[in-house]
Amino acid sequence: MANGSLDSHLFKGKTLLTWDVRFQIVQGLASALFYLHEEGDHCVLHRDIKASNVMLDSSFNAKIGDFGLARLVDHAKGSQTTHLAGTMGYIAPECVSSGKASKESDIYSFGVVALEIACGRMSIEPMYEESQASLVAWVCKLYGNQQILGTVDPKLGMDFDAIQMECLLMVGLWCVHPDQNLRPSIRQVIQVLNFEAPLPKLPSRRPSPTYDVPTTSGIQVSEPCFSTVSITIPR
């Protein structure tokens, strides 16, 4: 793809993506995920949606790449139990516990990428202080403090549409809800991003469920890993 992967622009300084381009990218990514989940004969669970797998063409239109971990499932079934796979920082908490991939786990990964696009930082930043190391936890905290626009990528300055930005951040938080049953479908995501439906109503404090990790088999090593531990999803 002419413009490579999304992460090279967001995190590696290849190009400073303007707000209009960023919003276009997230809308395109949502459309691509809708095709995978809803429009084919079978539902395709990607299982590894992340910034480095979002490819950009010459006009910065988003395409989903790397289907090495993808699985086909019946639309009626919508989930598959398998070994844990994906990239840390993008894996939904229930996958860590059960190994069950689903539309909802893809939605979680999409939400993390949406937050990365808005905030201009990676899902896990080990060099940050503990309270800011997890992008999801940090955005949740500032949302609870009614400071959600304080998470906006400082490289954008004030050159962004505040209404669109709030919409994207709220959608991102909706998608990474720790309870998979309270996440939106990709259809609902698109409706909100297109301002065809109202913003979601989210709790001011994020629940903190704990999940046991049975295995690291299939996890990409590009992110920090661990073996048998418990993860507490921070508020």
Query: Cα separation of 112 and 173, whole Å?
Result: 8
pLDDT reported for residue 208? 64
pLDDT reported for residue 183? 97
Q: Which amino acid is at 167?
A: C
pTM of the model: 0.86
Of 117, 209, 124, the residue nearest 132 (C-alpha):
124
Q: pLDDT tens-digit profile of 151-175? A: 999 999 999 999 999 999 999 999 9
Q: pLDDT tens-digit profile of 10-23? A: 999 889 999 999 99
Q: Which amino acid is at 181?
A: N
57 catalytically annotated: no
pLDDT reported for residue 131? 79
Spatial contact of 37 and 44, defined as CB atoms under 8 Å apart: yes
Asked if pLDDT for residue 228 goes beyond 50, the answer is no
pLDDT reported for residue 224? 34
Q: Show me where the domains of the chain are located.
A: 6-232
Residue 3 DSSP label: T
E-state strands within 46-199: 54-56, 62-64, 71-73, 79-81, 86-87, 100-102
Q: What torsion, rounded to 10 degrees, do the Cα atoms 96, 107, 89, 162 define?
A: -150
Name the CATH topology of 6-232.
Transferase(Phosphotransferase); domain 1 (1.10.510)
Asked if pLDDT for residue 27 goes beyond 80, the answer is yes
**20, 41, 48, 159: which one is catalytic?**
48
